[in-house]
Amino acid sequence: MGLDPESTLAPYLDLVVTAIAADIVPLTGENRTLAYLGLAQMNQKPRAAFAVLTEQTKQRPLQMEQLQFHVAPRINAAGRIKHGQHAVSLLMEESLEQARAMAQEIETWNTQRRGHQETIFQEALAQVEALQEQQASATVVCGHWHKGVIGIVASKLTETYYRPTVVFTEHEGILHASARSVSDFDLHAALEACSQHLIQFGGHKAAAGMSCDPNQYEAFKTAFNRMVAERIEAHQKTPSIRVDATIELREVNPKLMRILQQMGPFGPGNEAPVWAAYAVHETGYAQTVGADNSHLKGAWAQGDSAAIPFIGFGWAHAQSLMSARSIVDVLFSISSNTWNGVTSVQLMVKDLKKSSVISTAAEEEY
């Protein structure tokens, strides 16, 4: 008698969508279908692990963003700090009480992971500055760092300097590294051109891992910088955001949000539309939020439009601009936020700057 795929495999779709979110794979074709079905299952009948891991998010229904930025880092933290078996045990646990206790332990490791990550990031920044390599074609750093978090540090360095980045750490006499790329620069091809200095390497255009003999480190660093300088194109050196359309805030409403949600789940290969709105103003209640106060939360209005809440992850540095009640131009995606059972529209900040457009209604208000 053959097995019924729907009854035997469907219960694992929540694990599939979590893996898709964690690995940031393209949400196209069957991946998008599996992600859609996995999210539906997770929202309807979550297993104990996901029920406890998402208790603090308050966001319902769960979307790819919550899996990528909240659930996946905690699952990965077990393997980075202790052992991956702890995460497997949590995912297999059926008792909500036992799962909650296990999740609390993993949360402790995730806190440790963030501490290691920030320490290594600051040491890497100091190394780049000490060597006066801020303007180098690529960022290549090396230290005696925690192997489990160098990939995250590589991503942060890439965001900071916006150039291909390789972060090495020594383990048992061998250098191991994680690498991240920018834009559509082919990182794998650049590494292949330097492979004579590596023990082994693997990955794809955007990310890679490798190992290297310590005696070959400087030679690899020189060769990699040369390859990047020769191959990188001008448009790949500056971060950019593709804007899909301009919109007036009065056009942003629950109906539009529901239409957009039908296009999801969003992610690589199926990005959420990015909207531009000009001459908007904060309503006067912007504040930093998050455990480290690195995020910015408030509400925007445009002319005489109703105020719409926004959240800017990593945008706490823009609070002074908001506090001054300046008129700004903004890029955002449209999402939803559920609080105490009430779902409302929320804007997700992508970029903002002081506006060059004069908003008459806003100026009159002030």
The mean pLDDT of 38-46, rounded to a whole number, is: 90
Is the link from the previous residue into 164 a cis peptide, with omega within 30 of 0?
A: no
Question: What is the number of structural domains in the chain?
Answer: 3
252 shares a domain with 310: yes
Q: Which pLDDT does position 366 carry in this prediction?
A: 30
pTM (two decimals): 0.76
- Residue 124 within any structural domain of the chain: no
- Residue 123 within any structural domain of the chain: no
Is residue 197 predicted with pLDDT exceeding 90? yes
Range in 125-129, 133-137, 230-234, 361-365 with the lowest mean pLDDT:
361-365
pLDDT tens-digit profile of 137-155? Answer: 889 999 999 888 999 999 9
Q: Which pLDDT does position 365 carry in this prediction?
A: 36
Among residues 186, 217, 236, which one ends one of the domains?
236
- Residue 198 within any structural domain of the chain: yes
pLDDT tens-digit profile of 54-75? Answer: 886 666 778 888 888 888 889 9
Among residues 180, 205, 236, which one ends one of the domains?
236
- Residue 120 within any structural domain of the chain: no
256 shares a domain with 358: yes
- Residue 118 within any structural domain of the chain: no
Q: Which domain holds residue 196?
A: 131-236
| Domain harbouring 73, CATH code | 3.90.1640.30
Is residue 213 predicted with pLDDT exceeding 90? yes
Q: Strand pairing of 200-203 and 275-282?
A: unpaired
Of 277, 249, 272, nearest in space to 260 by CA: 272
The mean pLDDT of 92-109, rounded to a whole number, is: 91
Q: Which pLDDT does position 179 carry in this prediction?
A: 95
pLDDT tens-digit profile of 163-184? Answer: 999 999 999 999 999 999 998 8
Among residues 208, 236, 264, which one ends one of the domains?
236
- Residue 117 within any structural domain of the chain: no
| Domain harbouring 165, CATH code | 3.10.310.30
Q: Above pLDDT 90, what percent of the chain?
A: 52
The mean pLDDT of 242-249, rounded to a whole number, is: 95
- Residue 116 within any structural domain of the chain: no
Question: Which DSSP string do the residues of 328-362 spell out, in sequence order?
Answer: EEEEEEEEEEEETTEEEEEEEEEEEEE-SS--HHH
Q: Which pLDDT does position 156 carry in this prediction?
A: 93
99 shares a domain with 136: no
- Residue 122 within any structural domain of the chain: no
